[in-house]
């Protein structure tokens, strides 16, 4: 996006009456003295500027060189992150695979808690196709620029419900041969597999090439699946939406639009930092955040369509983006 510099300067100048401007930085009346807050400047981008981690669960689009966009060189964690950054720059989806797959991004500034919607996550949901991702936020408490502090989940419509499982963990196992399904077990005593769909995605492995170990475990919040076979014969699957609070979800509330997105275009879900909760489910106040994580929040599949997997197309600071438009 090309920005008119004079327009940006005018926008930032307009907030000076309620802010303090020091050396080109914009601050507000919150007490940031004991924090590592990074205020936005006139050169800040509203979009995420770095992918810190991309650890998907196995899935039909992982390592896939056609629609998945991989080229076979993504054999290290660093290369996988570069892949995701390039996809986000073009607003093209990145698959998180099955349950627990996640991506972590950061910005060139801290995102303020405005009390309303603060940031957006782009996905490709449409009516009848929601693949919900739980959203987590982190403040750079130690100031080292790395997402190594405390994650706080953002509450959604399913938070606190009996069917929602906290600390759900799935372990995935590397197949012993190419073109095989990926087996998994969970911490509830269940087992299953990510199906190998040879008629559609024929890469040798759905297990990420950059995962060096023969198994790995992903832990997060698991929602009750809502997908069902509307045809009753396996030909037409539906993934209904959840009310609010999840990425890649056709929400009637946080998409902030009532279009049906019948062509599966990129569209945004919007999130409030004020919905942050701690590990016990209690509200956690954060004046700002520096990192965002999205994690696939269901463990289910839809027959010939394969695993339900959250797709993410990018992230942006909602309020900064509005100011710059």
**Segment 80-117, tens digit of pLDDT:** 999 999 999 999 999 999 999 999 999 999 999 999 99
Strand ranges inside the chain, DSSP E: 20-22, 25-27, 50-55, 94-95, 102-112, 119-123, 133-138, 151-154, 165-173, 182-186, 191-194, 215-222, 228-229, 237-238, 267-271, 276-277, 288-296, 311-312, 314-317
User: Which tokens in the block code for residue 175?
Assistant: 């197949």
* Residues 51/103, Cβ–Cβ less than 8 Å: yes
- The C-alpha angle with vertex 89 and arms to 84 and 93, in degrees rounded to 5, equals 55
Ramachandran bin of 91, using left for φ above 0, alpha for ψ from -120 to 50, beta for the remaining angles: left
Q: Are 324 and 3 in contact (CB under 8 A)?
A: yes
Q: Which two tokens stand for residue 90?
A: 């073009």
Separation between Cα atoms, residue 265 and residue 117, nearest integer Å: 22
Decide: helix, strand or coil at residue 154: strand
Q: In whole angstroms, what is the distance from residue 251 CA to residue 157 CA?
A: 10
pLDDT value, residue 262: 78
pTM for the predicted model, two decimal places: 0.91
Residue-level pLDDT at 24: 38
Residue 9 has pLDDT above 50, yes or no: no
Which positions ≥6 away from 218 have C-beta within 8 Å? 55, 57, 99, 100, 101, 102, 169, 170, 172, 295
Tokens (6 digits) for 192: 């299953």
Q: What are 189-216's pLDDT values in tens digits?
A: 999 999 999 999 999 999 999 999 999 9
> How far, in Å, CA of 10 to CA of 66, rounded?
44
Position 33 scores a pLDDT of: 60
**pLDDT of 256:** 96
N-to-C CA span, the chain: 10
**Reported confidence tier of residue 13, pLDDT bands at 50, 70, 90:** very low
**Two tokens, residue 197:** 């769909």
CA 195/CA 193 separation, integer angstroms:
6
Q: Which helix (H) or strand (E) holds 277?
A: strand 276-277
For 247-302, write each residue's pLDDT tens digit.
Answer: 999 999 999 998 888 788 899 999 999 999 999 999 999 999 999 999 999 999 99
Judged by DSSP in three states, 9 sits in helix
193 bridge partner residues: 183
The C-alpha atoms of residue 212 and residue 214 are separated, in whole angstroms, by 7
> How much is the pLDDT for 30?
60
- Nearest-CA neighbor of 105 among 97, 115, 96, 114? 96
**H or E, element range at 78:** helix 77-89
Per-residue pLDDT reduced to its tens digit, 283-294: 999 999 999 999
Q: Which residue has the higher pLDDT, 12 or 60?
A: 60
**CA–CA dist 42, 284 (Å, integer):** 30
**What is the DSSP secondary-structure string of 224-259?**
PP--EETTSSSS-EEB---SSS-BT---TTTT----
Residues whose CB falls within 8 Å of the CB of residue 158, separated by 6 or more in sequence, listed in order: 164, 223, 224, 242, 245, 246
pLDDT over 60 (residue 25)? no
Is a pLDDT exceeding 90 seen at residue 21? no
User: Residue 16 to residues 11, 24, 290: CA-CA distances in angstroms?
Assistant: 9, 11, 23
Q: Output the average pLDDT for the chain.
A: 91
């Amino acid at each position: 996006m090309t920005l008119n510099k004079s327009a940006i300067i005018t926008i930032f100048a307009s907030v000076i009456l309620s802010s303090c401007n020091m050396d080109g930085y914009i601050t507000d009346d919150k007490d940031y003295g004991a924090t590592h807050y990074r205020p936005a400047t006139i050169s800040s981008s509203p979009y995420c500027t770095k992918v810190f981690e991309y650890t998907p669960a196995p899935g039909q689009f992982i390592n896939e060189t056609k629609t998945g966009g991989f080229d076979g060189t993504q054999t290290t964690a660093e290369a996988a992150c570069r892949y995701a950054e390039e996809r986000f720059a073009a607003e093209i989806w990145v698959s998180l695979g099955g349950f627990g797959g996640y991506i972590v991004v950061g910005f060139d500034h801290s995102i303020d808690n405005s009390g309303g919607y603060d940031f957006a996550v782009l996905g490709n949901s449409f009516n009848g196709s929601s693949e919900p991702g739980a959203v987590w936020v982190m403040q750079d408490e130690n100031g080292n620029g790395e997402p190594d502090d405390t994650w706080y989940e953002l509450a959604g419509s399913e938070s606190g419900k009996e069917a929602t499982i906290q600390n759900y963990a799935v372990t995935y196992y590397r197949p012993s041969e190419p073109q095989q399904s990926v087996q998994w077990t969970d911490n509830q005593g269940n087992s299953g597999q990510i199906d190998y769909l040879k008629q559609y995605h024929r890469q040798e492995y759905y297990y990420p090439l950059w995962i060096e170990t023969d198994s790995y475990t992903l832990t997060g919040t698991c929602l009750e699946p809502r997908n069902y076979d509307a045809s009753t014969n396996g030909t037409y699957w539906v993934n209904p939406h959840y009310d609010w609070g999840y990425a890649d979800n056709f929400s009637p509330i946080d998409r902030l639009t009532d279009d049906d997105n019948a062509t599966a275009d990129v569209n945004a879900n919007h999130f409030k930092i004020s919905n942050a909760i701690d590990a016990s489910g209690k509200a956690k106040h954060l004046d700002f955040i520096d990192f965002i994580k999205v994690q696939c929040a269901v463990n289910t599949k839809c027959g010939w369509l394969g695993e339900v997997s959250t797709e993410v197309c990018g992230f942006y600071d909602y309020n900064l983006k509005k100011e710059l438009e």
